[in-house]
Amino acid sequence: MNRIVNFFRSAIIGPLVALIIAVVIISLTTDRFLTTQNLINVSLQVSTVAIAAIGSTLVILTAGIDLSPGSAAALTTCVLAILVKNMGLPLPVGMLAVLVMGIGMGLFNGFFSTYGRIPSFVVTLATMSIFRGLAFLVTEGHPIFTVSPYLEDIFYGKLAGIPLPFLYMLVLYGITAVFLRNTRSGRAIYAVGGNESAAHLSGIHVNRTRLLAFILAGLTAAIAGVLMAARLNSGSPNYGVGLELAAIAAAVIGGASLAGGHGNIISTLLGAFTVGVVQNGLNLNAVPAAWQNITIGMIIIMAVGLDMWRGDFGRNLSRLFSFGGDKGQAPKGEQEQKEE
C-alpha cells in the first residue's frame, strides 16, 4: 500500500496522467490518431520542442527563466545555412560551429544573469531580440534554401527503422536524467533552485551552477535549431517563433516550478508530448488553428493546477492510511514565532 501511495505522490504522476487522458480523449475522437505513421509524425513534431525544453527545464530548476531559445534556434539555422551553403564548409564542421555558438549564446545569457546580477527574465528578453536581430542581419532578411543534400537526412533519416530525431531525444534526455540525478553539478542545480542561501552556505558555487544551466540551455537551443534547419533544409530568421513558450510550457506541464528546485526531466518530456499530442489531435480533427493556442493555454492551467492540488490529495491519502509516525503536518511545518 505504501508503494502505491508513494507512486501517487511521485513527481511523474501528474504529467503522466495528463498525457494519458489526452491520448484517450483524442483516440476517441478520431481513429487516425493511434496509427504508427501518425505517432511517428507526432514524435517528429515534438522532437524540436522537447530538445529545447531540456535547456529550459535546467534553467527553470535554478529558479531562472530563458526566453531566448526561439531566437537562438533561428540564428542557428541562419548561421548554419551561411556556413554550409554560402561559405562551402562541410556539414559536420558547420554543425559543430553552431553548437559552439549555442554555448556562446548560453554563456552570454548566463553571465549577465549571474555575475551581472540582472534578472534572467530581463537578460533573455533582451537576447530574444538580439539573437533574432543578428539572424536578420547575417541573412539580410532572406531565408536561405537548399543548404545541403545531407542536412535533411539528419531529420528524416532512420536508424534500424527508428526516426533519428526520436533517438536524439532519447539520448539527450537520458544524458540529462543521469546528469541531474547522479552528478554534483546536477545536484547543485536542484540545490540552487531549492534554497540559494542554503546552497551557498553548503559550499555550492551558486553563480557557476546557474551559468552552467544557461550554457546548456544555449546548447540545446542550438541543437533544436539544427533540427529545424534539417527539417526544412533551410535557414531563416523567421523560424522558431514561439519555441521558448512551447518549451517552457512543456517544462511547466511537466511539473517544474518556476520558483526553482522542483521538477524532473522525464516529466518535461511527458509535458512536451502532451502538448504535441493535443496539437496533433486538433489537427486530425480539422479544428481551426486558432483553437490550438486556446487549448494549449487551458492545458497549462489544468496541468499545473492538477499538480498543485495533487499535493493535497497525496497528503490526504497518506493521512487516511496514516503512514509515517512523524507529524503529518501541513508543509509549512511549525510556524515559529520570529518576534523578539
Partner 1 sequence: MTPAANKSLRPGSFFYFIIPVEENMDSDSPTLWELRSVTKEFPGVRALDDVSLTIKTGEIHALVGENGSGKSTLAKCLAGVHQPKSGQLLYKGEPVELFHPFDAREHGVATIYQEFSLVPTLSVAENIFLGRQLNRPMKVGLDWDEMRRRTSTILDQLAIKIDPDAVVRSLSVAEQQLIEIAKAMSIDSTLLIMDEPTAALGLLETQRLQELIRRLAGQGKAILYISHRLDEIFQIADRVTVLKDGRCVGSNPISELGMNDVIRMMIGLEISQHYPKEVNVTPETCLEVTNISTGTGVEDVSVEIRVGEVFGLGGMVGAGRTEIALALFGFDQLTRGEIRLYGKPVHFSSPSDAIRAGVGLVPENRKEDGLFFNFEGPPNITMSRLEFLVRGGFLSLSKEEQAGREYVRKLNITPSALERSVQYLSGGNQQKVVIARWLFSQAKLLIFDEPTQGVDIGAKIEVYNVINELTSQGISVLLISSDYPELLAMSDRIAVVRDGRVLHISDAEKLTEHRLLSIASGAELNHQVKYQAGSIL
> For residues 254-283, which are near partner 1 according to CB under 8 A?
261-262
Q: Is 101 left (phi over 0), alpha (psi -120 to 50) or beta?
A: alpha
By CB under 8 A, tell whether 161 contacts partner 1: no
* Type and span of the H or E element at 333: none
7: cell is 507512486
- Taking the least distance from each CB to partner 1, the nearer of 207 and 292 is 207
Centre a 10 Å sphere on the Cβ of residue 175 and count the other Cβ atoms it contains. Answer: 12
How many residues bind partner 1 (CB under 8 A)? The answer is 39
Pick one of 166, 200, 283, 292: the residue that binds partner 1 (CB under 8 A).
200
Q: How far apart are CA 35 and CA 157, in angstroms?
A: 20
Shortest spacing between CB 338 and partner 1, in angstroms: 6
- Taking the least distance from each CB to partner 1, the nearer of 37 and 197 is 197
> For residues 109-148, which are near partner 1 according to CB under 8 A?
none
Shortest spacing between CB 83 and partner 1, in angstroms: 34
Q: How far apart are CA 98 and CA 109, in angstroms?
A: 16
Pick one of 88, 161, 288, 333: the residue that binds partner 1 (CB under 8 A).
333
Q: Which residues lie across from 162 on neighbouring strands?
A: 159
By CB under 8 A, tell whether 4 contacts partner 1: no
Cα 268–252–274 angle (5° rounding)? 55
- Taking the least distance from each CB to partner 1, the nearer of 31 and 339 is 339
Pick one of 112, 190, 239, 273: the residue that binds partner 1 (CB under 8 A).
190
The residue among 19, 89, 116, 78 whose CA lies nearest residue 225 is 78
Rounded to 5 degrees, what are φ and ψ at 235? -125, 140
By CB under 8 A, tell whether 3 contacts partner 1: no
The residue among 242, 240, 238, 262 whose CA lies nearest residue 251 is 262
- Taking the least distance from each CB to partner 1, the nearer of 149 and 333 is 333
Question: Would you tell me which residues interact with partner 1 (CB under 8 A)?
Answer: 178, 181-184, 187-188, 190-191, 193-195, 197-205, 261-262, 324-329, 331-340
